[in-house]
């Protein structure tokens, strides 16, 4: 790969750095408008021997397909290493892996998911026209990026930090998400990046005009973070428990009993105290316990009695994260599920949601024989069964769209709850697995985007934080400090309005994929015609 000019590698390093800092904890979202421009320039100005003027575009030497893949692949590896570094600590501290194996897990993760950046680079290079005409590649790049993002969600099942999420605080721009989902924002960001990159790929006499125009567009779009909408009216209040239970707690029966007692007393005390000082219309009507590392089993008499007591004493509905189970049947073994149980004000356990999308290497081990080398990991990984329904839980006069932890990063899956009639979202999570890394903040921002896409209030109850009430604009209207045991009074409202995205899903992302396929097909057919004429 000596043909790749050193400047291209420097641009890759710059792009990787900028892509990392646009996500929490640094959260410098305004860099998202320029983060991918160096990558695009590197792909289209990679080879030093291209000092010929091509259709008025000087010094263009686009990377060959293999070179483009390598450049973008390295960029993707560095990006994942910079944003998902927390996988090392999670695997080491809580997954039972030794430091070398935990590091190996992180490296394999980055090498695998970095392939999507690599495919983006490859596709861009394939769009370069005859005589190194890069115009088709520039026009296609935003469509190609969105196509790669939808592939990352649907094929790999890890759409962590989709590009559009970087602008979750941009109230004006995120209105697009109600039509297109987060992918529309990703497209907009890439469009500006392409315009900026183009400024460095045209003759100097045109450069300043294009550069000013692209930066002005970025500035105008970024100003949306300064725009705010009126405060939304609420008519309901939930009580969200933040249990703050250590992930590595050494559980004994006495520890378990003490924890259940503490959480029960906190729930009842806070509910009684608030209801006595509030009008009936604002009294607490829903109590939520998060997903937690505690051995809470739905069949445990102590837990069942405690939660039933909370519901009866508070005269309200309760949603609680717990481990559900199904007894063994003829021809099928017993199964356990990562579940959310629903208890009515009379103390009866009326319904349960079983997590549908499980976490690989956390809740199940894919290809067990392949990963047999990781003995500690295979012992730590839970073997949960997957749920089969995303129907809302019926809590009297409210339909709750309950999803658990990692499920909140899947736009297409969360929208199914709203499309099935959920009037408010409830996310139960145990972000204690992330430690003090930036992952909890990344997770929170992705959860906020689900509220925006579906125009729903979202109640996020977490074990260690951030526990929050999120409005349909994605704004956090109430939250608890991290890493403390407390209960949050969470205002919210119900809504039955469905957005275009809720009804039609990822139509925009699939349209981008179709357009990308069309561009590649016409380029392929064009090459065949060129060869025949020659």
| CB-based contacts of 479-483 (< 8 A; 24+ apart in sequence) | 480/240, 480/242, 482/440, 483/244
Q: What residues are paired with 428 via a beta bridge?
A: 404, 461
| Distance (Å, whole) CA 373 – CA 381 | 14
Q: How many residues does the chain have?
A: 534
| Distance (Å, whole) CA 372 – CA 80 | 25
Lookup result for tokens 């008025």: 56
Residue 85: CB atoms within 10 A of its CB come to: 15
Say whether 291 is catalytic. yes
Q: Considering 110, 405, 407, 453, which one is annotated as catalytic?
A: 405
| Distance (Å, whole) CA 477 – CA 499 | 22
| Distance (Å, whole) CA 239 – CA 264 | 12
DSSP alpha helix (H) spans, 22-151:
37-44, 65-83, 86-89, 99-126, 135-151
Compute the C-alpha angle 172/175/179, nearest 5°.
155
Q: Considering 149, 188, 291, 416, which one is annotated as catalytic?
A: 291
| Distance (Å, whole) CA 508 – CA 506 | 5
Spell out the residues 6+ positions from residue 410 whose beta carbon is closer than 8 angstroms to its own.
153, 159, 357
Which DSSP string do the residues of 6-36 spell out, in sequence order?
Answer: HHHHHHHHHHHHHHHHTSTTT--GGGGGTTT
The distance between the two most distant Cα atoms of the chain, rounded to a whole number of Å, is: 87
| Distance (Å, whole) CA 213 – CA 209 | 6
Say whether 355 is catalytic. yes
Say whether 53 is catalytic. no
Q: Is 488 helix (H, G, I), strand (E, B) or coil?
A: strand
Residue 385: CB atoms within 10 A of its CB come to: 19
Q: Considering 110, 127, 153, 355, which one is annotated as catalytic?
A: 355
- Give, as one character, the DSSP assignment of residue 439: H
| Catalytic residue numbers, as ranges | 291, 355, 405
């Amino acid at each position: 790969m000596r043909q790749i000019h050193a400047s291209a590698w420097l641009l890759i390093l710059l792009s990787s750095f900028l892509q990392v800092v646009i996500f929490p904890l640094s959260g410098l979202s305004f860099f998202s408008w320029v983060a991918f421009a160096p990558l695009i320039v590197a792909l289209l100005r990679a080879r030093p021997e291209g000092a010929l003027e091509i259709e008025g575009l000087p010094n263009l030497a686009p990377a060959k397909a293999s070179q483009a893949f390598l450049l973008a692949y390295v960029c993707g590896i560095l990006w994942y290493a910079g944003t998902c570094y927390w996988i090392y600590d999670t695997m080491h501290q809580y997954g039972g892996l030794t430091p070398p194996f935990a590091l190996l897990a992180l490296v394999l993760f980055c090498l695998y998911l970095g392939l999507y950046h690599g495919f983006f680079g490859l596709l861009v290079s394939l769009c370069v026209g005859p005589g190194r005409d890069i115009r088709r590649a520039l026009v296609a790049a935003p469509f190609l990026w969105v196509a790669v993002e939808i592939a990352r969600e649907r094929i790999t099942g890890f759409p962590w930090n989709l590009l559009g999420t970087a602008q979750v605080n941009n109230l004006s721009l995120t209105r697009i998400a109600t039509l297109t989902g987060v992918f529309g924002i990703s497209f907009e960001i890439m469009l500006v990046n392409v315009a900026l990159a183009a400024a460095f790929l045209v003759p100097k006499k045109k450069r300043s005009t294009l550069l000013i125009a692209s930066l002005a567009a970025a500035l105008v779009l970024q100003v949306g973070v300064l725009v705010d909408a009126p405060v939304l009216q609420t008519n309901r209040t939930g009580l969200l428990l933040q249990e703050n239970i250590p992930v590595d707690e050494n559980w004994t029966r006495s520890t378990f009993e003490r924890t259940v007692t503490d959480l029960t007393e906190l729930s009842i005390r806070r509910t009684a105290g608030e209801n006595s000082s509030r009008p009936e219309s604002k009294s607490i009507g829903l109590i939520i316990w998060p997903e937690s590392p505690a051995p809470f089993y739905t069949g445990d008499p102590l837990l069942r009695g405690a939660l039933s007591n909370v519901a009866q004493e508070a005269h309200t509905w309760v949603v609680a994260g717990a481990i559900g189970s199904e007894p063994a049947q003829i021809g099928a073994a017993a199964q356990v599920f990562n579940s959310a149980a629903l208890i009515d004000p009379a103390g009866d356990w009326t319904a349960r949601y079983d997590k549908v999308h499980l976490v690989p290497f956390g809740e199940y081990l894919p290809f067990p024989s392949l990963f047999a080398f990781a003995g500690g990991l295979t012992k730590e990984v839970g073997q949960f069964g997957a749920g089969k329904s995303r129907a809302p839980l019926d809590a009297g006069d409210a339909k709750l769209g309950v999803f658990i932890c990692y499920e909140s990063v899947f736009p297409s899956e969360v929208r199914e709850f709203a499309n099935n009639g959920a009037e408010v979202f409830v996310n139960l999570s145990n972000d204690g697995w992330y430690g003090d890394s930036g992952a909890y903040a990344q997770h929170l921002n992705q959860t906020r985007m689900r509220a925006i896409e579906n125009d729903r209030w979202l109640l996020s109850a977490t074990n260690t934080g951030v526990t929050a009430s999120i409005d349909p604009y994605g704004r956090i209207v109430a939250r608890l400090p991290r890493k403390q045991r407390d209960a949050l009074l969470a205002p919210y409202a119900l809504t039955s309005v469905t957005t275009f995205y809720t009804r039609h899903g990822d139509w925009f992302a699939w349209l981008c994929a179709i357009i990308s396929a069309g561009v590649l097909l016409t380029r392929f057919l064009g090459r065949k015609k060129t060869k025949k004429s020659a």
